[in-house]
Chain A
Amino acid sequence: MSTLVSVRGLTRVFDVSKPWLNRVLERQPKALLTAVSDVSFEVAENSVYALVGESGSGKSTIGKIVVGLLRPSGGQVEIAGVDLATETDGARTASMRAEVQMIFQDPYASLNPRWRVRDIVNEPVRARGGETAGLAERLLEQVGLAAEDADRFPHEFSGGQRQRICIARALASGPRLIVCDEPTSALDVSVQAQVLNLMSDLREDLGLTYLFISHDLTVVQHMADTIGVLYLGRLVEEAPRDRLFEAPKHPYTRMLFDAAPRMDGFGREIDPPKGEIPDPINPPSGCAFHPRCPLATERCKRERPEMRTLGATRVACHLAE
């Protein structure tokens, strides 16, 4: 399998300082938030790569950088050999933009309430001057809605149906890669199943590649081929799905798996994880997880662990073996 997306040393820093005058008067330094720190991974063509992590782990920021909604502060993202942030050939970036689409979390906020569904679905093609006759009708049927729905407005649809419209829009320009940022978090379970099944079918029929961003471990386990676990902007572990769930190497991954509520965990008494995610503006020294890690040593406090390869797993932990 060839590599479609290659992310190397990706870093993104946000300036969250107070205004200049406040800083001068209060004698405060600039506050910089490192949302993504030196993340590298590759996504194979026609596979599902999932990024999981808790809030503040940088998963959505990576998704936005991949589609080009944010620029990286350091490192590169190449999609089929094209780096959107530095490519100077306008024709190449334009064609690449058509090949990368995004599905957002909230299907209520991501559809323009004043547009008819036909215009919403056709927009990615029309914006590039493409032919749109019959396109919306065909796509709506492909995602399980009716061709007549093209004349209706978004408010006439339920949450699950809206997410289908978002999927139809993402498919309109014939993409190879779709970045899905929590695509089912806003949906009820029975509707979530419909949308996940649809996404699986489309991947097989159209040979799509998904970068799937989620905090829900069961959804990720259901969808992903490869999973990357993020903590405080850093990739701490990456492994093929079954290997990750059978033999998690990083203490954070284990903590996450133990803490997740289980459908068969009747009356399960767990020792809940200690502490909370640290402040990303002043992350801990060394390994970001060391204050909560049961195994942490002196070395973990001083030295940030490099990504190491252990069989099919890549893990950033001094002690993993």
Chain B
Amino acid sequence: MTTPVLSVRDLVVEIPTRRGVLRPVDRVSFDIAAGEILGVVGESGAGKSMTGNAVIGLLDPPARIARGEVLLSGQPIQNIGREALRRLRGKRMGMIFQDPLTSLNPLLTVGEQLTETILEHMPVGNAEARRRAIAALEEVGIPAAAARIDSYPHEFSGGMRQRVVIALALCAEPDLVIADEPTTALDVSVQAQIVALLKRLCRERGVAVMLVTHDMGVIAEAADRVAVMYAGRLAEIGPVREVLTAARHPYTAGLMASTPLAGHGRRRLRQIPGAMPRLGALPPGCAFHPRCDRAEARCRQDPTPRVEDCGGRAACWFPLAAPADRQEAGA
């Protein structure tokens, strides 16, 4: 098997506070292969953005990687220093943020921002950088790119701005792109355009994409595999179709049952009682046990299991059974 583009091993992110150390990411492991989209879902505060920021080295102090490894094409990058990381970001790893207006510099034209990134990371001259910038804008579907390259971000609409951000993330031809809620601020019709664009670029360029979102529909349509996070831990990870249609972890199952489904009319939604615990007040044992109807003594006493500890794709001592007619795939 080839080395995955991104490999995260037992990643722990800690934030020291006056009231003790918080762990927004706790022993998380996953791989992303070239040309693969890994969806990361979870509710707010589940640690999905924090995981993305830890991978790309953009944790805000005092948050820091306390343990574990982040391997980019097999090379550890979790503590190589700021300068080395800066050279990797943009060149080997690109990032797409939620809000396209705040992730572009309003005082520079789109072309200046693109050529700056290209000149920084590629051995080319000014004219060639500009040519590549126009090509990058064309590739993400901006009409009349040669004319619009000298426009400022505010002259673009929300969807077009997000395309510029994607062009910016991809212009130095990275191996890995982390997209943090890339469509959340956009309307449905524009969201569909951006999702289609991400899928096409991933397929054509063989980029590995970590797609962080809370929208299960986007995950279902875009991702190859999905990782479900809860309270900083990985609850379940596997091929998207299996996880979404035959969840093993009770939390994933609850999440699916509480989502209104098209075509189901006004059936009563199943609800998960309570809310996700705050990081400072995690229950002992499995973080999900107070909301879980399958919880037993072991769930309350033993530390939260990792996926690897449970021999399946769910981090649960008592996972839901696989449907008899379904062969477990990819676990």
Contact = CB atoms under 8 A, between A and B. Distances in A.
B268 A255 contact: no
B221 A265 contact: yes
A55 interface: yes
Interface in A211-265: 215, 217-219, 221-223, 241-242, 245, 255-256, 258-265
Given A221-B262, A222-B260, A54 B187 contact: yes
B221 A217 contact: no
Nearest to B244: A263
- Among A161, A258, A276: residue with most chain B CB under 10 A: A276
A262 B254 CA distance: 18
Contact of B221 (A161, A223, A262): A262
A261 B262 contact: no
A160 interface: yes
A115 to B, nearest CB: 23
Interface string B233-258: 00000001100110000000011101
Contact of B190 (A190, A217, A265, A276): A276
A263 B262 contact: yes
B215 interface: yes
B263 interface: yes
Interface string B263-275: 1111011111001
Nearest to A268: B221
Contacts of A273: 189, 192-193
B124 interface: no
B258 A193 contact: yes
A200 B269 CA distance: 10
Interface string B168-201: 0000000000000000000111111101100100
Contacts of B259: 189, 193, 218, 263
A312 B42 CA distance: 40
Contact of A188 (B160, B191, B214, B265): B214
B103 interface: no
B191 A259 contact: yes
A274 to B, nearest CB: 9
Interface string A182-198: 00000011111110110
Nearest to A161: B275
A19 interface: no
Contact of A191 (B221, B244, B275): B275
A158 B195 CA distance: 31
Contact of A259 (B192, B199, B255, B271): B192
A259 B215 CA distance: 14
A217 B160 CA distance: 24
A277 interface: yes
Contacts, number: 133
Given A217-B262, A221-B260, A273-B189, A189 B221 contact: no
Contact of A265 (B160, B220, B260, B272): B220
Nearest to A277: B187
A261 B187 contact: no
B260 A261 contact: no
Interface in A151-179: 158-161
Contacts of A258: 192
Nearest to B278: A158
A267 B221 CA distance: 5
Given A266-B221, A266-B241, A270-B196, A192 B188 contact: no
A29 interface: no
A147 to B, nearest CB: 19
A272 interface: yes
Nearest to B213: A261
Given A160-B275, A188-B43, A219-B260, A200 B266 contact: yes
A259 B216 contact: no
Chain A contact surface mostly = helix
Contacts of B261: 218, 263-264
Nearest to B222: A261
B17 to A, nearest CB: 18
Contacts of B260: 193, 196, 218-219, 221-222
A263 B188 contact: no
A245 B262 CA distance: 9
Contact of B196 (A158, A218, A266, A272): A272
A215 B185 CA distance: 12
B151 interface: no
A160 B271 CA distance: 12
Nearest to A48: B266
Nearest to A259: B192
Contact of B255 (A189, A269, A272, A276): A189
Given A221-B260, A259-B189, A263-B261, A196 B159 contact: no
Given A190-B43, A191-B275, A273-B189, A222 B220 contact: no
A249 B157 CA distance: 29
A158 B275 contact: yes
A276 to B, nearest CB: 6
B105 interface: no
B159 A276 contact: yes
A266 B220 contact: yes
B213 to A, nearest CB: 10
Contacts of A222: 260, 264-266, 269
B3 interface: no
A2 B183 CA distance: 41
Given A188-B214, A262-B217, A200 B195 contact: no
Contacts of A190: 43, 254-255, 258, 271-272, 275
Given A261-B221, A263-B256, 6 more contacts: A189-B214, A190-B254, A192-B258, A260-B217, A262-B221, A263-B220
7 contacts: A190-B272, A222-B264, A256-B189, A261-B221, A263-B217, A272-B189, A272-B192
Q: Which 8 pairs show the lowest CB-CB distances between chains A and B?
A: A261-B217, A193-B258, A188-B43, A259-B192, A222-B260, A54-B187, A193-B269, A272-B193
